[in-house]
Every structure is written in structure tokens, then in C-alpha cells.
Amino acid sequence: MATTPSSTITAHDAEVSFRLLVESVKDYAIFMLDPEGRVATWNRGAEIIKGYRAGEIVGKHFSRFYIPEDVEARKPEQELETATTTGRCEDEGWRVRKDGSRFWANVVITAVRDGHGKLRGFVKVTRDLSERRRVEEKLRRSEERSRQLVESIKDYAIVLLDTEGRVISWNSGAQRIKGYRAEEILGEHFSRFFTPEDVAAGMPEHHLKLAAAEGQYEDEGWRVRKDGSRFWANAVLTAVRDEHGALTGFAKVTRDLTERRRADEALRAAEEYARLVVDLAYSAFVAIDEDGVITGWNRQAEITFGWPRDEAIGRELAETIIPPQHRDAHRSGLRRYLATGEGPVLNRVVEITALRRDGSEFPVELTISPMRVGGKAVFTAFVRDITDRKTAEETLRRSSEALAAANTELESFSYSVSHDLRAPLRAIDGYAQALLEDHAAKLDTEGQRLLGVVRENAQRMGQLIDGLLRFARFGRQSMTMAPIDMTALARAAVDELEQGSERALPPITIAQLPPAVGDKTLIRQVLANLVGNAVKFSRGRPAPDVRIGGRPEGPEVIYFVRDNGVGFDMQYADKLFQVFGRLHRAEEFEGTGVGLALAQRIVHRHGGRVWAESVPGEGATFYFTLARP
């Protein structure tokens, strides 16, 4: 029996049906390319995704869908070659719409061949994955932020375990609390954090079972750090499961509560004696809660502030003993501590102004200690009235000022007296010289010797007075502080000594000296005095040697002048820097005994230190310090 035409599905009908099906797809761009890559067909999905209408794109090369850098790299041609060779090419990457905007696409190119295997073209299917990529990128950034957040947490040990309890991730808080670096602990079983007795009792495995069964398990107890020390920990162990409910591991969050436990224990012990100790205290004791309301008030607080205990308790501290101008700062400091756990006046002694009930203000010394009781913040403070101490300090300050004025007056007096003594001494020396020159013939040998002694002592007295004048003058001399090239200054001081000396100086070695800050003229005088002393006490040695050096140390520089001269006994070192203090007779070594005292005074005015070290017969080293630039 013949088949009616209405019941026969021809190849043409099938092709039409396929084209209608492809045309109806809107979520995929499905189109044909000829063997050269030109667009041969164009569906509704392609128009929606790429923005071209069929009349605009049919006959155009498909490379216009690629970004310029991919076109330059011949990526379109390479993908056609891959599809031709292997039958199919799949790729994900950026593509370009008609309006120039980019989208992330999944592309599949399939080679189409006829019955004889000849290439007839390509089918290209494109999906716009931009939204999925945005979601994935957002998820990736979220995961990265979460990882960074976990890593930044220092007060909690956050650890991931596999299903067997081995460590697979480790944050910086875990390293700080438990002492292990990540490379030391990854892959190790978390039971090593438990005490030996808990490990023997099977506690780690028991915790894993409870967390797996109930979803989460929380515990407090002793844990062990890398160094073997123990700490009191709060640990929360949470089971981690995949989307199918299969266990993939555990998240473990641990807090070190050792300090809190100590505080709790201290509080329990303190409560037994608190009232007795507080009421017998010589300082005012005040306690407040986290709202700033007074909860504790001892007998000395009643005396200090003038508020009876029953009236003080229940009042806000700020309104009771804090002057009005400081109340806002007090309240903001309390809020800051509650928010951050930090406070500028906690656990240290500070001085503040307090308020009595009668409105008078007075200085107090305050020590505030925070603690937590029942999860709430509590603050205890000991307050001591320091009015008497402040009065004494003010008296001392005025006395110091008076002493400084007296010293200034004494320096002026010394200067005047020394200056007035020079004239009669010059007269004595001059008349003695005139007697020797004009009347020597009338004097016998002893008379001439005695006149020489008179002149010698007059001249020595003049030198002593000159030294005293220099010492007194320095007290009134202003200083110009500036950076100093100490190497150049030391060389200048040595050159000056060489020019003023009648004898050749011994070898003087000057190292490269660190720079300093000071008055260049005065520091040059220090170097000249110290080097001059070294030269003086080195003469007569078989191989005299003087060295100048220095080294930075913290905020200052330590300089030294060292010699290999006669040295001195360290038990007399305290006399070195006294005015006219000498450790050797004047007949042995010349000098007035003012140089070292002047050097010390100059260095002290610069805020530095001076000292000396020596071994008799082996030389001496004099040190002084100056500020670094």
C-alpha cells in the first residue's frame, strides 16, 4: 500500500525542522561557517549574544568576534585548523560584541564534512559565561578575603583538620598561641596540642566523634604549646561537610583564656579578703562597672572625696569625682576599652585632677585595673591624694631656681675676684723682675734665687687665675648647637697644639670619627684639653702613642683619647675632674688642674658624660659622649 505524502518526512523537512529548532534557541549563538571561516548562517541566540543582525554578519569572517590581541596572534585561524585536524575545538576566553564590549565565552567549533569526507564548513556554538565568570570571580575574591581575614586574626587559633584530625591549614593566630610554624605542624595530628593525660584518655578522638555526630563540640581545658608550657583554652570544633552531607574535615577555633582564668582565680581569692583589704587601705579604692557606675567605695574614698559610701555607690563616676572639663574624655576612654580592650591609662600609674564633693579640685595619683566578671567589664582603681607631694615638688623647684641663681651669682663673683687678683700679681712679678734686672749686683746668690721663686709663684698664680677665669666665664657662655665633623675638628685641635708647643708632639693617630651635634668651639676646647693631657703624660715614655677614636652607640657617640703614658690609680679617679684637682706634683707635670674640670663642664652642658679608665704605668683613656646628628 502506497504511503501518502502527508505521512512522509523528507530530508528537506528534517533540515527545515532543524533550522527552526536552531533559530528558536536564544541562550546559545549557533551558526555555520564556510571552510574559510565566513559566517554562513545566524540564529536568534547569536543576534542576542553578539549584537549583529543576520544581514550585517552573514558573509563576514568570524575573526571579528575575537579581541584584537587574539586576532593578532592568529587565534581564529588556529582554532579552525584544530577543528579541521581533530574534528572539534573548544575554548574559553574573551570575545567582542558589535558594540565593542567584551564577554566571557565558551566556544565549540565542530568540523562538518560530506559523505566523502570533504570539509564543508564548521558549526560554531557560543555560550555567554560572563555572569558565571563574575560569580566565580566574586566567589574567588570572597574566598581570598576570607583567607586573609582568617590569617590576620591574631587572638584566635583557626585550624582546619582532615577527617582523621591531621592539620591541613594554620593561621598566624595559631602560630602565636601554640608556638608552631605552619611548616612544622601541617600534616601532624591535632592530639599533640592535648596534655599527655588527655591523650591517654582518648580525648582528641572523643572530641572528633562528638563534633561529627552533633555538628559542633565546645570544650575548655588545658592545652600544650610547642615549648611544653600549658595554657587554658576554649576550643570549638565544627564538622565540615560537602553539599552531599559527606564529612570532609573539621574547623577548630581556639582561644587562649589563660589570663582570664588567672583573673577569675585572682578575683575569687581577692573576694575573700577584698572588704578587709579595701577598707584598711591608705588609698581611696573605687570600683565601677562597664556603664561607669560606682560599685565599690572604701573608707579612704569617703575621706578623700567627701562622699559617704551609701551616697557614692550607684552614682556615675564621671559625675562624682571627675571635673567637668574631663568627663567626656573619661567616657570616651571607657567606650574605647569596651570596644577594643585597650586604654591609655590602664594598668599604670597616672596623675590626674580629681573633684571633691565641695567642688574643689586637687591632684591625685591613679591606678586603674580592668577585669571581667561574669562576662562583664569591671574596673578597680586606687586613688591617692598627692597634694602634699605636689606642694613639696613646687618648693623643690623654687629652691632649685634659687640655687641656680646663687650659682650664677657665685660664678660672677669668682670671675670678678679672679680678674681683680691679676693686677697685683702682675705687679709682684714685674717688681721682682725689675729687682733682678737692675739690682742683681747688690744681691747675693740666695737673694737672686728667692726673687726667682717669687716670680715663678706669681706666674703660676696667674695661670691658676686664668684657668679659674676660663672656668667661671664658661658658665655664662651661650652655645650654638650644630652638626660637627669631629674628624676635622680633632685634626684642627692637634694642629693648634703643634703650633703652640715648643717641643715636637708624640705620634697622634686620629681615626675616622662619627659626626656629632654640639657647639663646635667648645667641643674643640674639650679635644684640645684631653689631647694636651695625653701628650703631657706620655712624654718621656720609650714609644709615646696617642690615639683619638669614637663609635656610635644608640642615640649618642662615645669618643675617646687614649695614651700609653704614666696613667693613674683608679681609686683617685673622682679627683680628676675637680677644679685644681691633680694626681701628680706640679714639679713632675706642668698644668693648672682646670682643663679636665672645664672639659667635664662643657660635656655636661651638652647633655653628655665624661669618665676615665687607667692602669698605673700603662696609660689612660678619657671618654666623653655627644648626641648623634
Strand partners, 251: 160, 238
How many whole angstroms from its chain centre is CA 123?
A: 64
pLDDT single digits (tens) 159-171: 999 999 999 998 8
SS3 of 445-458: the string is HHHHHHHHHHHHHH
pLDDT single digits (tens) 148-203: 655 656 678 889 999 999 999 988 889 999 999 989 999 999 999 999 999 999 99
pTM for the whole structure: 0.34
> Which residue, 153, 113, 105, is CA-closest to 133?
105
Using a CB cutoff of 8 Å and minimum separation of 24, what contacts does 441-448 make? none
pLDDT single digits (tens) 125-151: 999 998 888 888 887 776 666 566 556
CB 294 within 8 A of CB 288: yes
Strands 119-128 and 167-170: unpaired
Q: Phi then psi for 519, rounded to 5 degrees?
A: -85, 115
pLDDT at residue 507 above 60?
Answer: yes
* CATH 1.10.10 holds for 390-474: no
CA distance 596 to 580: 9
Q: Kindly report the number of other CB atoms within 10 A of residue 367's CB atom.
A: 16
* CATH 3.40.50.720 holds for 482-627: no
pLDDT at residue number 253 = 93
CA distance 142 to 140: 5
pLDDT at residue 17 above 70?
Answer: no
List the domain boundaries for the chain.
17-129, 153-256, 272-385, 390-474, 482-627
Q: Report the CATH number of the 272-385 domain.
A: 3.30.450.20
Helices (DSSP H) in 440-552: which residue ranges?
445-474, 486-500, 520-538
428: left (phi over 0), alpha (psi -120 to 50) or beta: alpha
Name the least confident of 113-117, 300-304, 412-416: 412-416
Indicate the class that CATH gives domain 153-256.
alpha beta
Helices (DSSP H) in 10-129: which residue ranges?
11-24, 44-50, 54-57, 68-72, 75-86
Helices (DSSP H) in 188-247: which residue ranges?
196-200, 203-214
Q: What is the DSSP string of 278-299?
A: HHH-SSEEEEEETTSBEEEE-H
CA distance 626 to 629: 9
Q: Provide the CB-side half-sphere exposure for 501 (13 A, CA).
A: 17
CB 535 within 8 A of CB 561: no
Q: Quick one: how many helices (H) and strands (E) in the chain?
A: 20, 21
Q: What is the DSSP string of 255-270?
A: EE-HHHHHHHHHHHHH
Query: Residue 319 contacts by C-beta under 8 Å, 6 or more apart in sequence?
Result: 327
For residue 292 the three cell numbers come to 561607669
Sheet holding 216-224, edge to edge: 167-170, 156-161, 247-256, 230-241, 216-224
Q: What mean pLDDT comes out for the span 527-540?
A: 85
**87 or 593, higher pLDDT:** 87
Confidence of residue 548 (pLDDT cuts 50, 70, 90): very high
Q: What is the DSSP string of 330-370?
A: HHHHHHHHHHHS--TTBTSEEEEEEE-TTS-EEEEEEEEEE
Q: Do domains 272-385 and 390-474 have the same CATH topology?
A: no
pLDDT single digits (tens) 578-607: 755 454 444 444 544 567 888 888 899 889
**Fold of the domain spanning 17-129:** Beta-Lactamase (3.30.450)
Determine the residue type at 24.
S
